[in-house]
Amino acid sequence: MTPSLLFLIGYRGAGKSTVGALLARQLSWEHVDADEILEARVGRSIRQIFVEEGEAGFRIREAALLEELCRREDCVISTGGGVVLGEANRQQLRRAGTVVWLSADAETVWQRMQADAATRERRPNLATGGLDEVRELLQVRESLYRDCADHVVDTAGRSPSEIVAAILELLKAD
Ligand code: S3P
């Protein structure tokens, strides 16, 4: 395990971007948001990429970027919620650094997603949309998140700074 690379994984609305930025500041590391880098490089929102290239096209770009990001050091990386779908991605995550799963129940995730208009604009629906989509996908993904996580932090009812404090505690014990 490379101690200088930390990945935040988890479903949308788990707080990966907000917590990642705060955590990186605490560690005096760089923070990288994988989806933001991808959008900046491609010059299109993820929603547009899904429309033009399909989910498959997006996943190819996501995997290539992950491979590149795994070579960074002293960095907190906030990943996209579906990065764990690829077996190769899961292996890369496990090999490259410490993986922290920010978990949340479907209702919490759905409430946070509704409150976040900017994310709604940029992110496509992945299945049926709504709370049903969250429930459906969480059911499929929870075992994948668990499969690559070194640590799990439940984010429901906790503020970003409380979540950061919990992660720092876990890292101390590593
Ligand atoms: C996705 C989550 C999104 C983004 C893309 C696919 C997913 O990232 O990567 O829309 O499959 O859950 P966030 O988790 O940052 O919303």
Domains and CATH numbers, the chain: 5-173 (3.40.50.300)
Residues 28-37 pLDDT 10s = 999 999 999 9
Q: Which of 7, 12, 18 to mutate to test the pocket of ligand 1 (most atoms within 8 A of CB)?
A: 12
Residues 45-59 pLDDT 10s = 999 999 999 999 999
> Which run of H or of E encompasses 108?
helix 106-115
Nearest residue CA, atom 4 of ligand 1? Answer: 80
Tokens of 101: 């799963």
Mean per-residue pLDDT for 135-142? Answer: 95
What band does 3 get if pLDDT is binned at 50, 70 and 90?
Answer: low
pLDDT for residue 95: 96
Per-chain mean pLDDT for the chain: 93
As a whole-number percent, the residues of the chain with pLDDT over 90 amount to 85
Q: What is the pTM of this model?
A: 0.95
Cβ < 6 Å from ligand 1: which residues? Answer: 12, 16, 35, 46, 80-82, 119, 123-124, 126
